Amino acid sequence: MAQKSAHKWVETDVPDQSGRTFVVTGANSGLGAEAAKALGRAGATVVLACRTVEKAKPIADEIGERAEVRRLDLADLSSVREFAENTPTVDVLINNAGVMALPLKRTADGFEMQFGTNHLGHFALTGLLLDRITDRVVTMSSFMHQVPGLKLSDLNYEKRRYSRWGAYGQSKLSNLLFAYELDRRLRAAGSPVLSLAAHPGYSSTELMGRTESVQDAFMSLGRVFAQSAYMGSLPELYAATAPGLQSGGYFGPDGFQELSGHPKKVGSNKASRDEAKARELWTRSVELTGVTYPI
């Protein structure tokens, strides 16, 4: 007698989220928009935290009256602080927004744009909101965290030659180091808040075709082979809503090489598990952002 295949987690597995509030960064398009809409369908109140408010309004209109659009520019710490100051209690923070493989640019505070947006902006936001988060923090990384690039002595590419993919890899490894270190600190403090991480596999989003180089043509072609943004959003949706998850977990697609598929718990490389580097990155992040954590 043939065995039943294992259940593949899908959106209908999301428990009722009525009465719960989620903040989703970068919810105006791609993964964030899909996650926000799914949360709205599950009954949640969703704050769409986006740099360009106008782009998020159609997503909010689709969700309905439980959606709120608020401006948040992760590349500007003054915007991060203003957003946090005006945010009440939140059940779940999803650190979803990101930029990918840009030419060398700087944030409003002088940080390399990818590291400043993908890691430092979310590090500051999480720290400023942490005493008002009741359930969990979900931080988006990528299988590109395996690309060499992290250099703690030159996080903002002030000395070394700039590499757009190296900088992206550094930011995504930093996301994982941060998520794991936050988990350790929350556990040490006896906090019930969970720190989880996720990655979308190879998904078709607006990040493709934004490198401002000849690579855009190849990345646009890659959309043909990529899974949909909806499928790519499922790992973060799973991490944000599934009951019984253990803090410190990392979730991605269950398909070949984690490029596509349904959510499952996945592993990450040795560098992401380096606790000494995680502590040093945390210290440097506090120095750069001026944000200290209440744990």
User: Which of the residues are catalytic?
Assistant: 168
Q: Give the amino acid at 242.
A: A
Coil, strand, or helix at residue 187? helix
Sign, CA dihedral 154-269-174-192, equals negative
Kindly state the tokens that stand for 248: 């410190």
Let me know: does 204 contact 95? Beta carbons within 8 Å: no
The pairs formed by 264-270 with CB atoms below 8 angstroms and a separation of 24 or more are 264/9, 266/199, 268/141, 268/145, 268/176, 268/197, 269/145, 269/146
Comparing CA positions, the residue from 253, 276, 141 lying closest to residue 201 is 253
Angstrom distance (rounded) from CA 15 to CA 249: 19
How long, in residues, is the chain?
295
Alpha-helical runs (H) found in the chain: 30-41, 53-63, 77-85, 113-114, 122-129, 164-188, 215-222, 229-241, 275-289
Kindly state the tokens that stand for 58: 């159609």
**β-pair type (67-71, 194-198):** unpaired
Residue bearing tokens 């930029």: 99
Angstrom distance (rounded) from CA 156 to CA 104: 10
Kindly state the tokens that stand for 187: 């556990």
Angstrom distance (rounded) from CA 228 to CA 143: 17
Q: Give the amino acid at 196.
A: L
